Amino acid sequence: MSKTWAQCLDTLKDTVPLAEYSVWIHPLKVIENQHTLTLLAPNTQVKNYLSKNLKTQIKNAVAQHNKNLKIFISLAPDTNPDKSNYKKHSTPLFEDYTFDNLVLGGANQMAYAATKQIAENIHGSPYNPFIIYGGSGLGKTHLMQAAGHLAKAKNPNLKVMYVPLMDFVRNITSSLRHNSIESVKAFYQSADLLLVDDIHLIAGKEKSQEEFFHIFNFLFNGKKQIIFTCDQSPKKIKSLEERLKTRFSQGLNLHLTPPELEMRAAILLKKSQNEKININLTEDLALYMAGHITSNVRDLEGALLKLKAFVDFSKINQSFISKEVVETALGDLIKPIMKNIDINDIQKEVAKHYALTVSDLSSKSRKQHLVLARQMAIYISHELSSLALSKIGKQFGNRDHTTVIHAIKKIEEKFQNPDIKDDYDLIKLKLANL
């Protein structure tokens, strides 16, 4: 490998999101001479993606280490033209997508247990096929690839194959054009563990569905393990052949939900300690960020990278990362409506809204109506005041740190009830007009 490119890779690891780096940059071949650095893309898709989305970051990284080099992105020559291009589309597993790097919580506990059991018993699992489905950025690919890493670690001779679905489709299309479909099928049928990402994208692609059906049957009948990810339950995929729906549904289908508050905070804390990020994030700050970024793991990772960049470029001492620094760094990701609202004002407005007294909020009463009001006051205090969790707890009858976290989590769950969400919005509106 080019010495300059090796240095650039270290730089790009810190500036490009992990998923993009692993898929588009890490596998590249490079030719370096005195004046040029040529990146060799394995196919047109990779070449176009690099040119459109990552060329600036690459140029900046190269300039840091050798500003005299000109950058070119070209297609790698086909050194074996007689063979089908399909082997190019068997993507390596991402090195960081292991069980050790996975944060566990209520949202993924069952999927984790099932995936790990399958990986530890690859030839005898009753869960075949195994499908993990849910929205984007929830960790489906991480879980699936973790199974691949563990299975391979237990049996180095095991043939583990990871295939993004659209690579499979392109492979089928190319093989039909070159009259090599049987070779392609034989390649996939040689897998001991087949991992297919985004299987829902096969919907409406009749020829790909037909060939996948035969590959699936071959592997299933040979007791080879199959794991898919999908954005929804296979039963709900439109334009998916009924015979595929039936086969997909005969295995174990598990729904991956968005991570809850504590899990989101734990993800932030774990990833903040990663050598590629390495920022000093406190538990309070992690909970604060997690309270505002509620969608998925990718958004959490993006927020951390944004915070890291702000801290690095602003040359802020890591010991002084505060809520204000986080708000400035993340901007509209946090969207603070108000800052540093006095907790006494919050208690007064909440008590007034629920027809209670302020002292009721600090009492030991467990009446349902009062508990809801207390949790709401704690939640809003966490969101709008500058107090740490322990200090918020003291304002509500000397309640401890874990009680505050519990209250925040409960209100977040109760937002599914539109009446409670309306209560929250109304109280916030009144506080904004104080």
| CB hemisphere CA count around 312 (13 angstroms) | 12
Q: For residue 180, what are its two tokens?
A: 């090599």
pLDDT recorded at residue 46: 77
- Mean pLDDT within 54-67: 89
- Residue 100's SS3 state is coil
179, pLDDT greater than 60: yes
With tokens 């927020």, the residue in question is: 303
pLDDT recorded at residue 418: 84
Q: For residue 240, what are its two tokens?
A: 């998916």
pLDDT recorded at residue 84: 41
pLDDT recorded at residue 19: 63
Separation between Cα atoms, residue 321 and residue 124, nearest integer Å: 50
81, pLDDT greater than 70: no
pLDDT recorded at residue 327: 83
What does pLDDT average to over the chain? 87
350, pLDDT greater than 90: yes
Please tell me the chain's helix, strand, coil percentages from 3-state DSSP, rounded to the nearest 5: 60, 10, 35
pLDDT recorded at residue 32: 85
pLDDT, tens only, 191-203: 999 999 999 999 9
pLDDT recorded at residue 45: 67
CB atoms within 10 A of CB 155: 14
pLDDT recorded at residue 127: 94
- Residue-by-residue DSSP string for 337-405: SSS---HHHHHHHHHHHTT--HHHHHS----HHHHHHHHHHHHHHHHHS---HHHHHHTTTS--HHHHH
pLDDT, tens only, 88-108: 446 788 888 999 999 898 889
- Residue-by-residue DSSP string for 145-191: HHHHHHHHHH-TT--EEEEEHHHHHHHHHHHHHTT-HHHHHHHHHT-
pLDDT, tens only, 297-322: 888 988 898 998 888 888 887 777 88
Nearest to 310 by CA among 292, 332, 325: 325
Q: What is the pTM of this model?
A: 0.61
Enter the DSSP assignment of 316: -
Enter the DSSP assignment of 91: B
Q: 78: pLDDT confidence band, cut at 50, 70 and 90?
A: low
Nearest to 403 by CA among 421, 420, 387, 390: 390
177, pLDDT greater than 60: yes
Higher pLDDT, 124 or 228: 228
Q: 337: pLDDT confidence band, cut at 50, 70 and 90?
A: very low
pLDDT, tens only, 396-412: 999 998 999 999 999 99
Phi, psi of 104 (to 5 degrees): -95, 145
Nearest to 246 by CA among 379, 122, 133, 131: 131
Determine the longest span between alpha carbons in the chain, in angstroms: 81
Q: Omega of the bond prior to 129 within 30 degrees of 0, cis?
A: yes
CB atoms within 10 A of CB 179: 9
Q: Per the CATH hierarchy, to which homologous superfamily does domain 88-255 belong?
A: P-loop containing nucleotide triphosphate hydrolases (3.40.50.300)
CATH of 343-432, one of 1.10.10.10, 1.10.1750.10, 2.40.400.10, 1.20.140.10: 1.10.1750.10
Residues 6+ apart with CB under 8 A from 154: 119, 120, 122
Nearest to 163 by CA among 219, 244, 85, 91: 91
Separation between Cα atoms, residue 415 and residue 423, nearest integer Å: 10
- Residue 197's SS3 state is strand
pLDDT, tens only, 274-302: 877 888 888 888 888 888 887 788 889 88
Q: 1: pLDDT confidence band, cut at 50, 70 and 90?
A: low
pLDDT recorded at residue 80: 42
Angle at 172 between CA 171 and CA 174, to 5 degrees: 65
| CB hemisphere CA count around 301 (13 angstroms) | 16
116, pLDDT greater than 60: yes
**Amino acid (one-letter) located at 431:** L
Q: Strand pairing partners for 39?
A: 30, 73
Residues 6+ apart with CB under 8 A from 17: 298, 301, 302, 305
Separation between Cα atoms, residue 376 and residue 306, nearest integer Å: 30
Q: 164: pLDDT confidence band, cut at 50, 70 and 90?
A: very high
388, pLDDT greater than 90: no
With tokens 């467990």, the residue in question is: 366
pLDDT recorded at residue 285: 87
Higher pLDDT, 81 or 92: 92
Report yes or no: 237 and 198 within 8 Å, Cβ to Cβ.
no
- The domain ranges of the chain are 3-77, 88-255, 261-325, 343-432
pLDDT recorded at residue 14: 84
Which architecture characterizes domain 3-77 according to CATH?
2-Layer Sandwich (3.30)
85, pLDDT greater than 50: no
pLDDT recorded at residue 383: 85
Enter the DSSP assignment of 140: H
pLDDT, tens only, 408-424: 999 999 988 888 988 88
- Mean pLDDT within 256-270: 89
pLDDT recorded at residue 376: 95
With tokens 């005195």, the residue in question is: 34
